[in-house]
Each structure stands twice: as C-alpha cells, then as structure tokens.
Amino acid sequence: MEMELSLEQYETLLKLVYMGDWVISTLQAKDRSEDEPDTDSRFADVVRHVFAQADHAGLGNIVQIDQNNGEPYLTREFEEESGLVDIIEDYEDEVFWQALIERLAHRDFLRHYGETAISQMAIEERIEKETPFHDKWAQEFHENGLENLKI
C-alpha cells in the first residue's frame, strides 16, 4: 500500500508519530523494570519506518540516524522549533489537572454518599450528584492552583 502525502502532511505525520511514540514509551517504561526489554515492538517498528522515510519525502533535515544503534530520531532542534515540546507539556498539564479533579471529586462523592448508596443509583443520578464535587475542585484549582492542598 502506498500513501501520497504532501511535504506538510508528512511533517505532520512525523509529529503525530513522535507524540504517539512518546505516550507509548512512557507507558511501557512505567510497566517494566529497567532490566526488562521492550516486549512489544509493533509501535517501535512503525515509528522507525515512518522516520526512516523522511529523507525520501524531502524531510531528511529533521530526522537523524543514531550512529550507535542505527535508529532514526527527530532532531532536538525540530522537536523544540516545531512546538512538539510545548504540545507535550500542555498535554501533561491538562492530564494532571483533569485527573486530580476527577480523583478528588470521586473520593468526596464516595465519602458523602457511600459505596452502597452509589451502587444503587442510576448513572444519571450518579452524574448529577457527583458533578458538584467535580465543580468544587475545578473551581478551587482554577482559582488557587495547588496552594491550598495540605496533608
């Protein structure tokens, strides 16, 4: 199968592949010990293939080959100038705040109603009753960040 992409589309594909690889690599590193090899190379194979085609597509200036292992990678300059680093940092920030809000809201919801009562609620009722806890934490973090969190 052959796919025709413009130079701009291929650059966008490189960015998407990079970001997907970043997410997968982060999860795989979390799930295995340092001595354990990467057991699922499907993702790495696609990344390697897409990056290796960059020169042929006219984007060889943004992909380099590691002299030690022969693996293609995006140049540091491209990562920074293309906005990839900013996108990943924004993503991490958004995930952090959303996860924190969701977890604290759910904790407070459980404490307030109890597991038994919640298990008997219809999904609509659960959403309706948990939403104020979510809104409370969202407002708190919007206004004060982590300033008021204490243990």
- List pLDDT tens digits, range 9-57: 999 999 999 999 999 988 887 666 555 555 568 888 999 999 999 988 8
- 85: which 2 tokens? 């680093």
Model confidence at 70, pLDDT cuts 50, 70, 90, reads: confident
Kindly give the residue spans of alpha helices, DSSP state H, lying in the chain: 7-31, 42-52, 54-57, 76-81, 84-113, 115-119, 123-144
Q: Give the chain's length.
A: 151
Q: Is 74 exposed, middle or buried (0-12, 13-18, 19+ CB in 10 A)?
A: buried
Instruction: Say what the pTM is.
Output: 0.75
